C-alpha cells in the first residue's frame, strides 16, 4: 500500500520577513502587518517611555540582527574557531549559536 500525501498545507516555521519598522505608537512589523506591540516593563514616567522606545528599536531591528548573527556565526565557523569558553572567539561563537538556537526554537 502506498502512503498518501498530507492533505493539509505545511506551516512555515520561520519568522515574518523584515525589514520591520514602527507602524504607529509602539506597533512593529513589516509593511503589511504587525508582529509586536511594545510595552514598558518598568511602569510609568520618562524612564518607562525611554525603555519602551529602546524596546521598539530593538524589536524592529530583529530581522537584521538575526541575519548579522547568522553571518557572523558562519564566518567564525569558516575561520575554524572552536566553540569553547577558553578564547574570545570561542565565547563569541557559543553566544551566537545560543542566540540563533533561541530564534530557531531550540534550546538556548
Residue whose entry in the numeric block shows the C-alpha cell 505608537: 25
**pLDDT recorded at residue 28:** 92
pLDDT tens track for 61-95: 988 888 888 888 888 787 777 777 878 888 888 88
Q: pLDDT confidence of 6, banded at 50, 70, 90?
A: very low
Which one-letter DSSP state was computed for residue 28? E
For the chain, percent of residues with pLDDT exceeding 90: 10
CA distances from 93 to 54, 58, 106 (A): 26, 21, 16
Rounded-to-integer distance, Cα 58 and Cα 41, Å: 14
pTM of the model: 0.69
**pLDDT recorded at residue 1:** 46
Domain extents in the chain: 21-60, 63-103
Amino acid at each position: 500500500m502506498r502512503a498518501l500525501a498530507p492533505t493539509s498545507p505545511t506551516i512555515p516555521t520561520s519568522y515574518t520577513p523584515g525589514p520591520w519598522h514602527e507602524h504607529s505608537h509602539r506597533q512593529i512589523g513589516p509593511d503589511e502587518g504587525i508582529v509586536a506591540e511594545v510595552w514598558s516593563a518598568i511602569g510609568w514616567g520618562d524612564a518607562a517611555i525611554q525603555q519602551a522606545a529602546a524596546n521598539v528599536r530593538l524589536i524592529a531591528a530583529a530581522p537584521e540582527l538575526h541575519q548579522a548573527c547568522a553571518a557572523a556565526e558562519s564566518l567564525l565557523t569558516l575561520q575554524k574557531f572552536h566553540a569553547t569558553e577558553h578564547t574570545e572567539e570561542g565565547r563569541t561563537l557559543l553566544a551566537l549559536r545560543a542566540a540563533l538556537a533561541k530564534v530557531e526554537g531550540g534550546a538556548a
